[in-house]
A and B are shown apart, each in its own frame.
Chain A
């Protein structure tokens, strides 16, 4: 577990550096999701960076595609793409554009960017495994504001109806969306009872607590015949004091002074 925390911290620092150097990114939502991404790629998912398309791999879909940089850094850390390639993020002709591209970047399963796309595609993936009697699992990470998209609820109904107990939806519940707080926009909270009412098994965890994430995503935490929703209570800007829980850090870029302070805080946390 110490290892996972150390990896997450390393990914946070690399993500911060990439956003600072590129002069763009979605750093707030990246920081909230990095613990989840780390748990997935370094503990949960059965994936192989040397064979990213092996048919029986577990699938992960980053539905909140605007936080692509966190996924790129994680994929680099896991060996899917060269670590030095992260420096090309958002550069001309880089395959690491602002949203993940499955035809270019190994380890990306489907293109995302417009919100509300990941869960339907993940339902199709899980349905394919169910139809084939295959044991691989499908995971999808959405934002909480993203759950305002109606397509998610179409998919939520279908997943329960199809009894997709090989599907896990993780909602990065950081309470903030691009323009305002979730509560001030179209408040979905409390999220858990809504999914329970749709027939899902639901866990609520601290989504920045590595032990809690690992426990919620473990195979034995599944429920027969029901898809699983993990409502992960996180903090936008997690790990960086002046970003934490601040709407403006959805896609603001730190200036040099802010960058240096943020890096110091992350380095201190790593010790």
Chain B
């Protein structure tokens, strides 16, 4: 990674957008679990103290309260550490939010390996698998500040529940400031015909860096930023399979049931091609920062490029 590149904490884009939306829509409320600081809701609380509902350390209640607020005419953004919001309140997300079609925006902060050093209890690397198994609940993982802002605006305008997976690990700008988020549509960030690398969240910029390395070796990789894990962009995946003949996915998630699995489900039904799925390889991770762990799990730009080269050898 270029050390000169400026990195942004996407939580700032999230709360900045949320505050702008709340200014215009008095029904927007924030709900949190003693997470004003980690969700960066201090500014929201200062401006609208009566519109911040802090339930304390009680995630099941937090999600239920979100459903009730929506029933009562509010537009709740329920913010909590992704690991606890999704894991601890999974049944509430299923019954009270998705099945009830409650117009609640679930915002999982510090997702993936963001709490790397705090250990596997705090890693949110099962959330794609848990939540994409639920009907009626879009699952979205933006890759940079522009996409985070766009996805937050989309969330407020979308009539129904969804899950926004938000990191705190710094990422460079990738998409233009005026980027518009489209649910279920991948962005083709780089053209290429030798293989396709699909990523989202904090992995997208690493995938782009890997593609740069591969280009230096005469390999042209298509790069798709696939923020929406459900509904998955079947068209973009189908095109990747038929036009590039190999697909490599990268995610800040266990390799079981996440982005790679979602892509593979489409690939095997349509046009099977060689695939490799990069992620946390089904283990409880050792101690280390998110970036350290992603490198350790083969998702440094060089690691991704090496996996791409190995994958190409399996192409027919």
Contacts and interface: CB of A to CB of B under 8 A. Distances in A.
A219 to B, nearest CB: 19
Contacts of A158: 55-56, 58, 61, 65
A117 B64 contact: yes
Contact of A124 (B51, B64, B91): B64
A103 B65 contact: no
A112 interface: yes
Contacts of B63: 120
A120 B58 CA distance: 10
Interface in A115-129: 116-117, 119-129
Contacts of A112: 95
B74 interface: yes
Nearest to B67: A121
A148 interface: no
Interface stretch (A14-22, A149-157, A175-183, A248-256): A149-157
Given A117-B95, A120-B65, A109 B71 contact: yes
B64 A123 contact: yes
Contacts of A121: 64-65, 67-68, 71, 96
Interface string A53-67: 001000100000000
Counting contact residues on chain A (CB < 8 A from B), the size range is 35 or more
Contacts of A101: 99
A127 B72 contact: yes
Interface in B68-92: 68-74, 76, 91-92
A159 to B, nearest CB: 10
B101 interface: yes
Contact of B61 (A103, A123, A126): A123
Contacts of A50: none
B151 interface: no
B29 interface: yes
Contacts of B73: 55, 128, 132
Given A103-B100, A151-B60, A120 B92 contact: yes
Interface string B168-187: 00000000000000000000
Interface in A182-199: none
B72 to A, nearest CB: 2
B68 A120 contact: yes
B64 A120 contact: yes
Nearest to B101: A103
Interface of A: 55, 59, 101-103, 109-114, 116-117, 119-129, 131-132, 134, 138, 150-151, 154-155, 157-158, 161-162
